[in-house]
Structure 1
């Protein structure tokens, strides 16, 4: 897949009114971050033409303010 495929994909997202933003996390890829209800998708278009997709799916749970301490404790350097 090439740049035309990326542009076509973005056009399809826009036509479907699906929120996305572009990001660059790895040197060899452009990431399309997609937000839909209950899910976040990371779709990376790699320089070699491949595409990698990672899905983050909500468990439906909501947490209170105490979870802020958890994220700081568990994920700080």
Structure 2
């Protein structure tokens, strides 16, 4: 019997529980459930798709630990997008296409 995506997901969650590996569930894409597993130095994102496919993305630490000063990098790197959008918004004018 062919296993469907839900069966694979349940079996995987049971295996995580047996091994005492913590996880959380998320839903970011249609037709998919993501299992997020954080273990020392790594984060795994495993997506179980409704068609039975499984996609795995691993994020592995380089072992370097930064201090609190690194938090500003988060905002410096990603708040720029909002600033760009904010700067452009006033410059965009709607015009009447029918004159």
Under a length normalisation based on structure 1, what TM-score does the superposition of the two structures give?
0.93
Aligned to 2:95: none
Q: Does the aligned pair in 1 maintain the 2:8–2:52 contact within 8 Å?
A: no
Q: Distance in 2 between matches of 1:47 and 1:11?
A: 18
Decide which moves more: 43-52 or 10-19: 43-52
Aligned to 1:25: 28
Q: Distance in 1 between matches of 2:68 and 2:59?
A: 21
Q: Which has the higher helix share?
A: 2
Q: Deviations over 1:30-73 (max 9, x none)?
A: 00000111100000001221111000101100101111111101
Superposed, 1:4-15 pairs within 5 Å as 4-15=7-18
Q: Which has the higher strand share?
A: 1
* 1:54 paired to 2:57: yes
- Structure 2: give runs of 5+ residues left out of the alignment: 83-99
Aligned to 1:41: 44
- Structure 1: give runs of 5+ residues left out of the alignment: none
Larger Rg: 2
Q: Distance in 2 between matches of 1:35 and 1:62?
A: 16
Under a length normalisation based on structure 2, what TM-score does the superposition of the two structures give?
0.73
Say what the alpha-carbon RMSD is for the aligned residues. Answer: 1.0
